[in-house]
């Protein structure tokens, strides 16, 4: 409506946003029910943050400047960057400059992706103290501590796909729920009746419980702390999410025990790009027999390593009788 002063910056004051307007817009804005206050606004600096960061650090050695990250990730008020070795002696100052120029409170360095059964991240805080924040993505709030719990930003399309599934009336099991990566979008938007979200890491589980409340899905999601192989019940799930890679097939017998005939398993794993279809088929043939399943689709979630990608296969499991007969 051309009511905003585009030369000045929008700013925050607690939960309020202050939007600069020219004097001429005051009557219209007030008639729309907004409060108009007097104050000064900062002029908007159109210089890209990458350029401002390089300007602020321009006295660092050339090799350090050349290797400074020009991409980063945000988790609420936290910035996550990757740093090369040459930057090590200057990391405190680098952290401060990134925080200032990106207007965030904490800067962390992602040291080595994630490791171990719990997929724990290796993060070093180089500026600030607050490591817990809320990431807002596709209408879902994910609260977590970036130093304790992983968040695979590359899985965003898969999280969105879970949101857009039609699971009306279904009972769903998320065997590797984490902080609710897939559980939350599915529970909030897909129409599922019940989602059993199992997580073994107590720290992730704590955030899962908080995120269930934060996203208002308490009536749908049942969080379970523990190993998914101990989940009770047989042939009750309409859909099972297996969002884990590299050793996923070890958990397939348990998934097959819980799925009802005709139910769907979303099976994640990493494979060489030239053999993923064959490998997925073999894994399910070994587990269910050749006629015991139907592959509905396979998609690449993200690149994992040279020539290796993370894939998700949607697999319909046919009758339990077929499976039992074939495995005998």
Ligand X SMILES: C[S@@+](CC[C@H](N)C(=O)[O-])C[C@H]1O[C@@H](n2cnc3c(N)ncnc32)[C@H](O)[C@@H]1O
Q: Which positions lie near ligand X, rule CB under 6 A?
A: 117-119, 152, 155, 176, 178, 181-182, 198-201, 204, 227-228, 243-244
| Closest distance of CB 90 from ligand X, Å | 32
**Closest approach of Cβ 217 to ligand X, in Å?**
17
In terms of CB distance, is 127 or 244 closer to ligand X?
244
The neighbouring-strand residues paired with 171 are 194
Residue placing its CB nearer to ligand X in the complex, 30 or 303: 303
Task: Tell me the two tokens of residue 211.
Answer: 């995120």
Q: Six-digit token pair at 254? A: 């348990």
Q: What is the DSSP string of 57-76?
A: TTTS-HHHHHHS-S--EEET
Q: Pick between residue 194 and residue 200 the one whose CB is nearest to ligand X.
A: 200
Smallest gap from residue 138 Cβ to ligand X (A): 13
The least CB distance from residue 250 to ligand X, in Å, is 9
DSSP reduced 3-state for 5: coil
Q: How far is CA 112 from CA 121, 187, 202, 218, 303, in A?
A: 7, 31, 22, 34, 16
Please say whether the beta carbons of 240 and 247 come within 8 A.
no
**Residue 168 φ/ψ, nearest 5 degrees:** -50, 125
Q: How far lies 178's CA from each of 41, 89, 115, 300, 303, in Å?
A: 42, 35, 14, 21, 21
* DSSP state, residue 8: B
Which tokens is 285 given?
Answer: 């043939």
Smallest distance, Å, CB 117 to ligand X? 5
Which residue minimizes CB distance to ligand X?
243
Give whichever of 68 and 152 is closer to ligand X, judged by the CB atom: 152
Q: Name the residue nearer to ligand X (CB basis): 246 or 325.
A: 246
Of 98 and 144, the one with the shorter C-beta distance to ligand X is 144
> Least separation, in Å, of the C-beta of 76 and ligand X?
17
């Amino acid at each position: 409506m051309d009511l905003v002063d585009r030369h000045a910056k929008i700013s925050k004051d607690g939960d309020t946003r202050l939007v600069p307007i020219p004097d001429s817009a005051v009557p219209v804005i007030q008639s729309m029910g907004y409060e108009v206050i007097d104050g000064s606004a900062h002029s908007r600096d159109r210089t890209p943050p990458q350029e401002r960061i390089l300007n602020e650090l321009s006295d660092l050695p050339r090799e350090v400047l050349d290797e400074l990250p020009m991409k980063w990730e945000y988790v609420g008020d936290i910035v996550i960057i990757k740093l090369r070795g040459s930057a090590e002696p200057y990391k405190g100052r680098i952290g401060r400059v990134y925080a200032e120029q990106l207007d965030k409170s904490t800067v962390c360095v992602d040291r080595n992706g994630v490791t171990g059964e719990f997929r724990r991240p290796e993060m070093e805080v180089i500026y600030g103290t607050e490591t817990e924040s809320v990431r807002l993505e596709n209408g879902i709030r994910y609260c977590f501590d970036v130093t304790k719990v992983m968040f695979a930003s590359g899985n965003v399309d898969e999280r969105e796909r879970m949101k857009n599934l039609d699971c009306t009336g279904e009972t769903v099991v998320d065997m590797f729920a984490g902080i609710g990566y897939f559980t939350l979008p599915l529970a909030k938007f897909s129409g599922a009746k019940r989602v059993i979200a199992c997580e073994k890491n107590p720290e992730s589980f704590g955030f899962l419980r908080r995120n269930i409340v934060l996203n208002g899905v308490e009536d749908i999601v049942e969080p379970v702390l523990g190993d998914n192989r101990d989940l009770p019940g047989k042939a009750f799930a309409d859909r099972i999410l297996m969002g884990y890679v590299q050793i996923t097939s070890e958990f397939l017998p348990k998934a097959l025990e819980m799925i009802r005939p005709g139910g769907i398993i979303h099976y994640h794993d990493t494979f060489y790009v030239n053999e993923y279809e064959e490998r997925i088929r073999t894994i399910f043939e070994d587990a269910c027999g050749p006629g015991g399943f139907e592959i509905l689709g396979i998609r690449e979630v993200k690149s994992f390593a040279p020539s290796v990608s993370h894939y998700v296969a949607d697999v319909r499991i046919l009758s339990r009788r077929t499976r039992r007969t074939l495995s005998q």
